[in-house]
Structure 1
Amino acid sequence: MISEETSEPVVSIIVPVYNLEAYVDRCLESVAGQTFGRFEAIVVDDGSCDGSWAAIQRHAAADARIVAVHKENQGVARARETALAHARGRYVCFLDGDDWWEPDMLERMVAAIEEEGDCDMVCCGYTRVSRTYRTAVPERNLGVMDGDVFLQSVVGHEIMPALWSKIYRRELFGESLCHYPMPMGQDLLLNLQIGCRVARVRTIDYVGYNYLQRAGSSIHRNKLTFDYCKKFAECVDDIFARNAGAVAPERAEFLSLVSGLWWYVGYISKSSNSWRGSDELAKKLHEMAPRYRKALRTIFSGKQLLLFRLDRWRALRPAVIALSTVFRWGESIKRRLAR
C-alpha cells in the first residue's frame, strides 16, 4: 500500500467512469505516476456494465490516494456532483476515464496557480489522440485574463470549454452551481457559471492532457439536433438570469448570441440536417447578429458567418450544404498536412 499524506490532499482529482474497462487502467496509472503526489483521486463508477468497477477497486487497493465510489447510472454530470461532494483538496482537477495525463501534469498546474496567487483557475493545452495520429493543441492566448474575457473565450471556443486540462479553486464549485445533464456541452455550461464568479484566469504554455478520440465516446454518439440547439440556448439564458448581478444585461445578450450562433452554425453545416431558418431561435439569432456584426467577426470565421447569412433563405439551403462540405474537406486536408 502506498502512503502519501492522504489526510490533507492539495488537489482533488474527479474521474467519472462509465463502461471504460479498456481505458481506465491507463487513466489511473497516469494519476498514480504523477510527480506531484499530494492528491486524492475520487473515481466514480457510474453504474458500469463491464469490468470498470473491478479495475477501479484494484487501483484503490494499491494506492490509498485513489477513492473508489460506485453509484447507479445517472450520467457524467451526476457522477461529477457525487465526486465533488467527497472532495477535500484546495484545488480540483477533472480527468475523463478514457483519457490520461503526462507525468508532470499536476506539478505544472499546481505551480502555475500558486505562482499567480490571486488566480482562480489555470488552463493548459491538450493532445488530441487517435489510432492514427497525435496532435498537440496548445492554448493560444497565454497570460492572465479576467472573468469577462474568459466568458467570451469559452462561449467562442477560443479556450477549450471542457473541464479537463484545467485546475480550479475548489470553492468555485459551491452549492449554487447547477450541473445541467446535457448530452453535449455540459462542461461549457459549468465553465460559464464559473466565469461569472472568477476574478482571474491564467493560461499557460504547457500541453499535459491526452484527449482520446474514439467512436464510442459521448461526443461522437450524440447528434447535434436543432432541438438540442434550442435546449442549450435555454440553459445559457438561465445561467445569465441566475447570475444577473455578475454580468451586465447587454453583455449577457452578446454572450448568449455567441453561444447560440456557435451551436446553430454547427447544426446548419451538417448536410443531413433540415432547414430551420424560420424557427424562433434562428430568427432571434438573425435579428440580433447585425447589432454585433463587428464583434462577431473577431470570434467567427468568414466562412461561418457566410453560412449563417445564407441560412436566412430556405431556397439557399443547397448552397449552404455545398459550401459547408467544401469547407470541411479543406479543413480535413489542412489537418492531415499539419501532422
Structure 2
Amino acid sequence: MSTIDILLPTYRRPAALAVTLTSLIAQTYRDFRIVISDQTEDSNPTATGEVQAVLRVLRAHGHTVEIHKHLPRRGIAEQRQFLLEQANAPYSLFIDDDLILEPDVVEKMLVAIQEERCGFVGCAFIGLSHIDRVHPDKHNIEFWDSPVQPEVVRHHTPQWERWRLHNGANIYHIQQKLGITSANPRKYRVTWVPACVMYDTAKLRELGGFNFWRELPPEHCGEDVLAQLRVMAVYGGCGILPSGVYHQELPTTISDRLIAADNVLNWGDIVFS
C-alpha cells in the first residue's frame, strides 16, 4: 500500500489531463498511487495518445495507475466521493485535471500534514496570466506560527474573506514579496483551498467525505468548500507557501454554478450534532 493516493477526477480534458499527469513524473516524493475517474460520456480521454504516453512513463517509474469510467454523472461531489471510496492510503491528495505541479509539491504537502496531524493541507493554484496584476489589498495573510488548530469559519465573517488570497496570482505575489521558498515553507490560515488538497483519509471519511452529494442536484459546485469546512472545524487545516501549483486557466467544465454546497447545506449542524 502506498502512503498517498492521488485522486484525480476528469471530464473532457485529455490534453490538460496529460499535462497534469506529466507534472507527477518528477515528484521528489515517489510513494504514491494514482486513481483517475473519468466521466466523459461520449469519448475516452484516458485512451488518447498523449495520456497513454504519460501513463506508460508513470508505470515505468513504479507507480500504480488505476482508471475508472464512472457514469452516470451525478455531480462533482459524487465524483469525489467515488474517488475517496477507492482510496486505501493514509493520505488522499485530490488534484484537478488542469494543474501543473512543481516537483516538490507532493513531498511538501506530506511533510506538512504529518507535522501538524491536521485534517488537510492545501497548495492553492496560481494563475500566472495575472502575474502583472498586483493587488496589495488582497495580501492580508495570517500565518500559523503555532501548531494548526481546529477552526470554525463561517460566511459573512472577516475570516471568510481569506478566500481572496487564492484569486489570480495573489499567492504568488505574497510569497515573492516575503521571500518564502521551499527551503523555509510557511503555513497559513484558510477558508478553503481549491484544486490541490491532501486530506488525512480517515479524518475525511469520519466526517462523511463527500456523501452529501445525495442532498444536491447534479449541477452544483462548492463541494470542496463544504468538505474542508467540516474537516477544519474538527481537525484543522492550512495552506502552504510557496504553492508550487499552477492553473492551466481553461474554461470550467462545471458551467452551472448557481448552487454551492456550502450555501445550501447546514454544515455546522452536521458537524457538531
TM over 0.5: yes
- Evaluate the alpha carbon distance shift between residue 48 and residue 142 of structure 1 in structure 2; reply closer, same or farther with a 3 A threshold: farther
- Evaluate the alpha carbon distance shift between residue 192 and residue 202 of structure 1 in structure 2; reply closer, same or farther with a 3 A threshold: closer
The residue that corresponds to 1:269 in the other structure is none
The residue that corresponds to 1:148 in the other structure is 151
1:192 and 2:229 matched: yes
- Evaluate the alpha carbon distance shift between residue 96 and residue 125 of structure 1 in structure 2; reply closer, same or farther with a 3 A threshold: closer
Contact 1:154 1:191 (C-alpha < 8 Å) held by counterparts:
no
- Evaluate the alpha carbon distance shift between residue 119 and residue 161 of structure 1 in structure 2; reply closer, same or farther with a 3 A threshold: closer
How far residue 17 of structure 1 moved from its aligned partner, in angstroms, is: 0.5
1:160-215, Cα deviation, whole Å (9 max, x unpaired): 624533321111221633343552212111112212331x334432212212322x
The residue that corresponds to 1:165 in the other structure is 196
How far apart, CA to CA, are the structure 2 residues paired with 1:184 and 1:112? Answer: 27
Larger radius of gyration: 1
How far residue 25 of structure 1 moved from its aligned partner, in angstroms, is: 0.7
1:17 and 2:10 matched: yes
- What percentage of aligned pairs have identical amino acids? 20
How far apart, CA to CA, are the structure 2 residues paired with 1:213 and 1:160? Answer: 22
The residue that corresponds to 1:120 in the other structure is 119
- Kindly report which structure 2 residues correspond to 1:226-305, keeping only aligned pairs within 5 A, or say none: 228=259, 233-235=263-265, 237=266, 239-245=267-273
1:83-128, Cα deviation, whole Å (9 max, x unpaired): 1111122111111112121111001111222233x33322334311
Normalising by structure 1, we get a TM-score of 0.58
How far apart, CA to CA, are the structure 1 residues paired with 2:121 and 2:140? Answer: 11
1:65 and 2:64 matched: yes
Note the aligned Cα RMSD (angstroms). 3.1
1:93 and 2:93 matched: yes
Contact 2:123 2:193 (C-alpha < 8 Å) held by counterparts:
no
Contact 2:125 2:195 (C-alpha < 8 Å) held by counterparts:
no
- Evaluate the alpha carbon distance shift between residue 184 and residue 129 of structure 1 in structure 2; reply closer, same or farther with a 3 A threshold: farther
Which of residues 204, 217, 226 is equivalent to 2:252? 217
How far residue 47 of structure 1 moved from its aligned partner, in angstroms, is: 2.9
How far apart, CA to CA, are the structure 2 residues paired with 1:139 and 1:29? Answer: 33
- Evaluate the alpha carbon distance shift between residue 82 and residue 142 of structure 1 in structure 2; reply closer, same or farther with a 3 A threshold: same
Aligned AA for 1:80? Answer: R
The residue that corresponds to 1:279 in the other structure is none
Aligned AA for 2:68? Answer: V
- Evaluate the alpha carbon distance shift between residue 24 and residue 169 of structure 1 in structure 2; reply closer, same or farther with a 3 A threshold: same
- What secondary structure sits across from 2:244 in the alignment? strand
1:19-40, Cα deviation, whole Å (9 max, x unpaired): 0022111011111221110001
The residue that corresponds to 1:287 in the other structure is none
How far residue 157 of structure 1 moved from its aligned partner, in angstroms, is: 4.2
Normalising by structure 2, we get a TM-score of 0.70
- Evaluate the alpha carbon distance shift between residue 79 and residue 186 of structure 1 in structure 2; reply closer, same or farther with a 3 A threshold: same
1:33 and 2:26 matched: yes
- Kindly report which structure 2 residues correspond to 1:324-339, keeping only aligned pairs within 5 A, or say none: none
- Evaluate the alpha carbon distance shift between residue 78 and residue 92 of structure 1 in structure 2; reply closer, same or farther with a 3 A threshold: same
- Evaluate the alpha carbon distance shift between residue 111 and residue 134 of structure 1 in structure 2; reply closer, same or farther with a 3 A threshold: farther
- Evaluate the alpha carbon distance shift between residue 43 and residue 23 of structure 1 in structure 2; reply closer, same or farther with a 3 A threshold: same
Matched length? 227
- Evaluate the alpha carbon distance shift between residue 217 and residue 234 of structure 1 in structure 2; reply closer, same or farther with a 3 A threshold: closer
How far apart, CA to CA, are the structure 2 residues paired with 1:139 and 1:30? Answer: 30
**Whose helix fraction is larger, Structure 1's or Structure 2's?**
1
Contact 1:124 1:205 (C-alpha < 8 Å) held by counterparts:
yes
- Evaluate the alpha carbon distance shift between residue 96 and residue 72 of structure 1 in structure 2; reply closer, same or farther with a 3 A threshold: same
1:61-98, Cα deviation, whole Å (9 max, x unpaired): 44142221112141322222221111122111111112
Structure 2 unmatched ranges of 5 or more = 164-189
